[in-house]
Amino acid sequence: MSFDAVAPWYRTLETVAFGNALQRARLACLNEIQAPCRVLIVGEGNGRFLHELIRMHPDVEVDCVDASARMLDLARKRIGGEADHVSFLRRDITSWIPPEQRYDLIVTHFVLDCFPETKLSELIDRLAKAAAATAGWLVADFCLPQSGLARVRSRAWLAAMYRFFRVTARIEADELIDPAPFLQSAGFALASQHLFRGGLLKSQLWRRQWSDGALSP
């Protein structure tokens, strides 16, 4: 999987399809986290969230992992001279081995939806092992409204997007899998949620609930 082919046009595609809604979803929970020291961002794309994170927390250390060299280059150019504390790592996240030092914030914006159920479970487990005992986890992604016409419209949008990105980015998934059960199994609990575009988009803050293998009080 690589978004190299769509990287130069991704911002335009995003704006035409959703206006500024995806960026609003990326940033919706950013004011709700404590100042992080070490952050892991998976599939950052062209760096719009990274730029805001650094603006709010200029001393944060960030590992930005993405399989797309072009997306990493766009992110690097976007933050320019503010990249002193950012490492841009071109890696396949499904086989990437994280460093021993844990992260107190993990960010997966519009990336978990690219994986089929089995690989999604494995990926969340892998990332959870890189998280500190009191880590937060930011998720922005697509979702399905509970019922009604909004659910029908969302299904149509998602079907079209999966067809497009299976061809252009070679993603493996062909349907949206809810990551919530896997996050809960990894010891995280939902702390905050915001919905956009009639429930098609969600922004979530998850917090780890245990420390040293025991449930937190």
Domain carrying residue 30: 7-209
Counting the structural domains of the chain, the total is 1
Residue 164 has what pLDDT? 87
Residue 217 has what pLDDT? 33
Whether residue 169 lies inside any domain: the answer is yes
Whether residue 215 lies inside any domain: the answer is no
Residue 8 has what pLDDT? 82
- Rounded CA-CA distance 83/187 in Å is 32
Q: Break the chain down into helix, strand, coil percent, rounded to 5.
A: 45, 25, 30
pTM: 0.91
Residue 166 has what pLDDT? 86
- Rounded CA-CA distance 55/34 in Å is 14
Note whether 110 and 46 are within 8 A (CB): no
Which segments of the chain have a pLDDT < 70? Answer: 147, 210-217
CATH of the domain at 83: 3.40.50.150
pLDDT digits (tens, 9 = 90+) for 102-120: 999 999 999 999 999 999 9
Whether residue 114 lies inside any domain: the answer is yes
Whether residue 2 lies inside any domain: the answer is no
Does residue 193 come out as left (phi exceeding 0), alpha (psi in the -120 to 50 range) or beta?
beta
Whether residue 80 lies inside any domain: the answer is yes
Residue 214 has what pLDDT? 42
- Rounded CA-CA distance 108/205 in Å is 11
